[in-house]
Structure 1
């Protein structure tokens, strides 16, 4: 009998080996994901808990975690045998975070939000008691907004500013309230207590609304963006003439803005996207 050539045998076996490797990699990544959900400061997982939550039998878990432990992506306590994330994950995260830029990360989401809503979208960051526009994606078929990149406007009378303030520390909010809340339009919120109530509403609802408070004929909806330390780092917004951004449109676009902001937050290193975080402004007043 003539032996089958080695090359033919290797070729026929290669797809199966590839599938097995791919399946093992997916399972290993799943194990990392399960442990990550509990956080570095959360409870260490037992072998049984990791097996149950990942849906992978214990012997397979032990086989797959070995290289993860070797690469410091997982850590196992020598006494209890429990698992948690290793410092290798931190090294990878830091390498990623060194390369990211809010404007670069947010740009695709602004473009998609503009295509979806047919309205103008902005990206802002806080600067003292003001906000600064750092990016803008405009829908060419509609009336252009007067905003421009680099412009600085008060935080208290804009949707983006209120989205930022709603999740900022008390000292930031206090600094804004310490200055006169000068009316920009007849609808600007100028009472500090009213503004605090508005910020609490924003935290509950998830998005903020500028109802002709900064420009007489413009409505705007905004959502906060969070970074790796779960602190607010910016906000994105959708703006249009009030005649087109009707109250029903606001209710429709608000959740879309929140979803876009959460995706940007995730790419900025946030795990929660601001959800479930304690109120940053202290107790209700």
Structure 2
């Protein structure tokens, strides 16, 4: 039986692949190329390559040297890669410090990133205890009571916070309105921002205690959230609260330093 090859991309798909081929023509060995050179490399007509490059230049994906007419990749490409790079860099920077945090506290430590409406767990080191609090990587939190959620919200414009709540993206329960700080959200988030610390003391579930604090990148912006979680009964019995708070702060400071934050 003869093997049939997949049909070649047509229309918009072909145009997209051709555009990617043009961008991939630039390499560390050949960072600056002219239209003819790119045309020869990708097998497209020079007029087609020229039109693509003009569009890429307008979007900031390539830069044209007005003197030579040759092109190099532009900083706009970093914008496309930023979410992936941030994820990879933050996880890589955080993991050894999360391991140390769990070793020091004996409790579960994790790293969360903000996806626009939720805190998402992207890394975790489980507590060695049989009874522990943990979450699968990829778990999403959108409850006001969650310490990681309030930590991220504290860095946002209050109008945006209200919009997230009113749209239902952030869930606020009646219990939150009574004792979770939502009776005065502006004041509560301002306090979280000043402390760079949010605490969940039985607010999500009666038996959970969590402490979250921010990690910052070289621009001083929040790049993620470190959280240490434990059974509330163990925290109370062993008087672990102060240890958890100081340890999570030390961990966030160490990870931030690895990301270039100088604060």
Q: Is this a same-fold pair by TM over 0.5?
A: yes
Q: Name the SS for the 1:244 alignment partner.
A: helix
What residue number does 1:265 align with?
256
Displacement, 1:203? 2.4
What residue number does 1:176 align with?
164
Q: Distance in 2 between matches of 1:195 and 1:142?
A: 36
Displacement, 1:140? 2.2
Displacement, 1:254? 1.0
Q: Distance in 2 between matches of 1:134 and 1:99?
A: 8
Q: Distance in 1 between matches of 2:175 and 2:165?
A: 18
**Which structure 2 residues correspond to residues 180-259 of structure 1 after superposition, within 5 A?**
180=168, 181-183=171-173, 192-246=182-236, 248-259=239-250
1:7-30 alpha-carbon deviations (Å, 9 max, x no partner): xxxxxxxxxxxxxxxxxxxxxxxx
TM-score between the two structures when normalised by the length of structure 2? 0.59
- Assess if the C-alpha contact under 8 Å between 2:102 and 2:126 holds in 1: yes
What residue number does 1:157 align with?
145
Displacement, 1:224? 0.5
- Assess if the C-alpha contact under 8 Å between 1:122 and 1:236 holds in 2: yes
1:167 maps to 2:158: no
Q: Name the SS for the 1:102 alignment partner.
A: helix
What residue number does 1:32 align with?
none
What residue number does 2:98 align with?
110
Displacement, 1:197? 2.0
Cα pair distance change 1:144/1:214, threshold 3 Å = same
What residue number does 2:38 align with?
none
Displacement, 1:131? 0.8
Cα pair distance change 1:134/1:194, threshold 3 Å = same
Q: Distance in 1 between matches of 2:137 and 2:110?
A: 9
Cα pair distance change 1:203/1:98, threshold 3 Å = closer
Across the aligned residues of Structure 1 and Structure 2, the Cα RMSD in angstroms comes to 2.9
What residue number does 1:136 align with?
124
Displacement, 1:149? 0.7
- Assess if the C-alpha contact under 8 Å between 1:187 and 1:212 holds in 2: no
Structure 2 unmatched ranges of 5 or more: 1-84
Cα pair distance change 1:114/1:99, threshold 3 Å = closer
Cα pair distance change 1:191/1:251, threshold 3 Å = closer
Cα pair distance change 1:204/1:121, threshold 3 Å = same
Matched residues, number:
177
Q: Distance in 2 between matches of 1:191 and 1:115?
A: 31
Cα pair distance change 1:184/1:105, threshold 3 Å = farther
Displacement, 1:146? 4.7
Displacement, 1:117? 0.4
Q: Distance in 2 between matches of 1:158 and 1:234?
A: 15
Structure 1 unmatched ranges of 5 or more: 1-96, 273-285
What residue number does 1:127 align with?
115
Q: Name the SS for the 1:239 alignment partner.
A: strand
